[in-house]
Structure 1
């Protein structure tokens, strides 16, 4: 069987009724093309099966117009939202994204992940830190490949950005104490999670700074069932009037567990979660939560890496965090009222 001949830029130009220069502009993501012309050219590309030569583009422009995204966990709600935001920002600026997931069987270090990305046609890399790697503080990105890390903890070698996980917990504890509760119990995420560790630290230190008792931590796995089991246990803690869970799924599970054990929410026990992930999933949602701006994190990470791609210096060693927002519903009781 004869292989089909290669479709050229001239073929696309003829099909779309434009010049080859216009096809080149569309292929290179230039903004200097009318929307209707771009659509016509893209339709012609699709019809003829034309594929831009990205290697040639990189030689000509110095960039592939592609950002690599490294993830340790694709299933976590926040990570999915961050990825969607990066993808949307990339699309708006004429970039594509290349995904790389770090599985359990691979060397789980920043160096190993970025070395793999170096073999792909990407201009820069965003690493979504789900777990703390052994080389986080020592890792230095290659001179030719900008790297941005989504992490609340800053490093001297790479720009970082994340939700204010620590401050989120401080705000949640302050809110519950302001409602008259004498201490706050915590349902933490898994020990391997950087976000869970930071939220637990924020909760613990918020209580310690005020000289209040720090109850034992209940460890969950981000899933509602683990929150349910914690709720059943917390129902038997005589001084438990307030619970702060590290995400909304565990918080919602805790509410059900507390109620199954005979406690009323919020009359007996107040509950607050993190991330505001249940909107549109749970009808008549009553859970008070700390909403994290995952979209803002993804877009800021994309902006930071593309600014470096264009030769701009982005500060390192700076704690760049995006604050959470309290969303009050009906799962917290104000004991002062």
Structure 2
């Protein structure tokens, strides 16, 4: 008879195989998302894993503590400055709390890629996950997965199935648009972010709200891809039109490319057209003309994400350790905006 104080044996891969009626090699293939496994076999194995609460051991430490002090970051942010700054702050704040960080960058956000990335983080026995993948479809996939560790998202929409940390991007976009209105602009175009991106939607809604408040006409937004290359292309194409005097771009990279495109087409910024960006990336103050933009404290977002996740891990009310107020955006006025000529 086992000693009452003896720690119960953790289920092994062979226990899973026995319960599922397959070989342990088949269980291994399922864990590694091998494409040769039939759906019904895979489901039997997954059911057995859930029933036994089996997890592969990533390190000897987990055998004793069941914790690796490891936080996973799931990122699908295509190299944007803001999320990169957040990740740096996440890593620094995690180290201060004796946690390590492992980051998985999604090459695409198909349901298959998202599911595989989350399963990989769970196989590495992360204690919690921070999601920097602000596309609606990412949260649709996450809601359908059995994720048994806390996770926090850096995003702006509600209903994502997790605690979230986010700046008030809608208000930031209203500030940018109101600035152009206050200068006397009435025909203001929006260069929006990609379809399905939560940030792009929030910034577009803020723009539309500000125009409605000012009783100004709306011009159908142009969907971009966050890159300076697209902004440059858009600037050259838009220069052929005469139906706007200002543009609010959904991020600084597109705004910088836009200014370049306008200049190549013979337009002066801000003499002929004013441009506002969003994010306040470091180079925004050093392009010509220096870019008017909305500042977001991405490092503070990263620190708050860690604080909220650690609160969940420690069973502490997040309200006791994280400021409930969302980080406020700030309008930074530089030389890319002026009154219409």
**TM-score between both structures, scaled by the size of structure 2:** 0.73
Q: Kindly indicate whether the alpha-carbon contact (under 8 Å) linking 2:289 and 2:336 is maintained by their aligned counterparts in 1.
A: no
- Cα deviation, 1:63-99, whole Å, max 9, x if unaligned, reads 3211011112352222211111111111222110112
CA distance in 2, matches of 1:160, 1:111: 20
Q: Which residue of structure 2 lines up, in the alignment, with residue 271 of structure 1?
A: 275
Residue among 320, 333, 336 paired with 1:331: 336
Q: Which residue of 1 aligns with 2:69?
A: 65
User: Is 1:119 the equivalent of 2:123?
Assistant: yes
Aligned to 1:244: 248
Give the deviation of 1:101 after TM superposition. 2.7
Preserved CA contact (<8 Å) 2:285 2:291: no
Counterpart position of 2:158: 154
Correspondence for 1:34: none
Structure 1 partner of 2:175: 171
Summarize the Cα distance change of 1:251–1:283 in structure 2 as closer, same or farther, 3 Å threshold.
closer
Q: 1:54 to 1:109 in 2, by over 3 A?
A: closer
Q: Give the CA deviation at 1:269.
A: 1.2
Query: Secondary structure of the residue that 2:111 maps to in structure 1?
Result: coil
1:133 aligned onto 2:147: no
What stretches of structure 1 of length at least 5 have no aligned partner? 1-52
- Could you say if the C-alpha distance between residues 245 and 301 of structure 1 is closer, same or farther in structure 2, counting changes exceeding 3 Å? same
- The 3 A distance-change label for structure 1 pair 142 and 134 is closer
> Over residues 149-196 of structure 1, what are the superposed CA-to-partner deviations in whole Å (9 max), with x where a residue is unaligned?
111112274101122221111110111111111132111122242222
After the TM superposition, which residues 295-334 of structure 1 pair with which residues of structure 2 at under 5 Å, given as runs?
295-314=299-318, 321-334=326-339
1:261 aligned partner: 265
Any unmatched runs of 5+ in structure 2? 1-56
- SS of 1:163's partner is coil
Assess if the C-alpha contact under 8 Å between 1:65 and 1:122 holds in 2: yes
**Cα shift at 1:314:** 3.7
Q: Secondary structure at the match of 1:227?
A: helix
- 1:42 aligns with none
The answer to whether the 8 A contact 1:235-1:258 is kept is yes
Contact 1:293 1:324 in 2 (8 A): yes
Q: In the alignment, is the contact (CA less than 8 A) between 1:190 and 1:221 conserved in 2?
A: yes
SS of alignment partner, residue 279 of structure 1? helix
Counterpart for residue 227 of structure 2: 223
Residue among 191, 197, 200 paired with 2:195: 191
RMSD of aligned residue pairs (Cα, Å): 3.0
Is the CA contact (8 Å cut-off) linking 1:68 and 1:100 kept in structure 2? yes
The answer to whether the Cα contact below 8 Å between 2:188 and 2:246 also exists between their aligned partners in 1 is yes
SS of alignment partner, residue 137 of structure 2: coil
Greater per-residue helix proportion = 2
The 2-side partners of 1:188 and 1:308 are apart by 35
Distance 1:260 1:153 in 2: 37
Q: 1:109 to 1:203 in 2, by over 3 A?
A: farther
Structure 1 CA distance for aligned equivalents of residues 152 and 114 of structure 2: 11
Number of aligned positions between the proteins: 282
Tell me the distance in 2 between the aligned counterparts of 1:334 and 1:271.
11
Q: Does 1:204 align with 2:194?
A: no
Partner of 1:222, secondary structure, is coil
Deviation (angstroms), 1:125: 0.6
- CA shift at 1:290, angstroms? 0.7
Distance 1:143 1:311, change over 3 A: farther
